[in-house]
Chains A and B, each alone.
Chain A
Amino acid sequence: QKEVEQDPGPLSVPEGAIVSLNCTYSNSAFQYFMWYRQYSRKGPELLMYTYSSGNKEDGRFTAQVDKSSKYISLFIRDSQPSDSATYLCAMSVNTGGFKTIFGAGTRLFVKA
């Protein structure tokens, strides 16, 4: 079993839809949870960063962590064609850095 599981998609939604992207994990010691957005042929860029459980909101993006279920989510409201990208979840214990574990990424397509 992989430490982090992420559905590769692709996920295709119409413009304006609410998108839900998810990851599950097996290591209960993870405390730091990140979401990265990666456009085609570009490096991943940090989108959201959350410590421990709870929600964090930034504009149209909401990151949610449920440590009891070992489940994290990224919600995108009012999705736009410019949101079309691959979204990678990542998580780490307190050392972070090279101990960061990445999901394989979910490809999202937002249709105009």
Chain B
Amino acid sequence: SQTIHQWPATLVQPVGSPLSLECTVEGTSNPNLYWYRQAAGRGLQLLFYSVGIGQISSEVPQNLSASRPQDRQFILSSKKLLLSDSGFYLCAWSQRISGGNTIYFGEGSWLTVV
């Protein structure tokens, strides 16, 4: 069966510090990978998605970047965090097939920028 791991689960970072959140998927090959941010009352916001190694699409301009160095690894980064970057970040994956490729989420990472 497929599993998705995301870490760290919680982190508190000062403004201006760098960020690295990591995600890996097991039990599948060539997945589509996603980073979402969830804000209270605002639902899920798609930040980045990737259909293959080195292929990153950004949905919204922001202070964050994503990378996919390996097939099943997805990294969310920032060089300098802003207060507004605080939130709940979710990594997710789906199979790369046509027709209703359902999204499966990791456990999430709570980021507090202070």
Contact = CB atoms under 8 A, between A and B. Distances in A.
Interface of A: 8, 31-32, 34, 36, 41-46, 49, 51, 88, 90, 92, 94-98, 100, 102-105
Contact of B41 (A44, A45, A51, A104): A104
A7 to B, nearest CB: 12
Contact of B102 (A31, A43, A49): A49
B105 A43 contact: yes
Majority secondary structure, B binding face: strand
Contact of B104 (A46, A102, A104): A46
Contacts of A96: 94, 99-103
15 contacts: A41-B88, A41-B110, A43-B105, A44-B44, A44-B105, A49-B102, A94-B99, A94-B100, A95-B101, A96-B101, A96-B102, A97-B94, A97-B103, A103-B43, A105-B43
B90 A90 contact: no
Contacts, number: 64
B41 to A, nearest CB: 6
Contacts of B107: 42-43
A95 B59 CA distance: 17
Contacts of B90: 43-44
Contacts of B32: 97-98
A98 B58 CA distance: 11
B55 to A, nearest CB: 12
B74 interface: no
Nearest to A104: B43
A92 B34 CA distance: 16
Given A32-B100, A92-B100, A43 B106 contact: yes
Contacts of B103: 46, 90, 96-97, 100
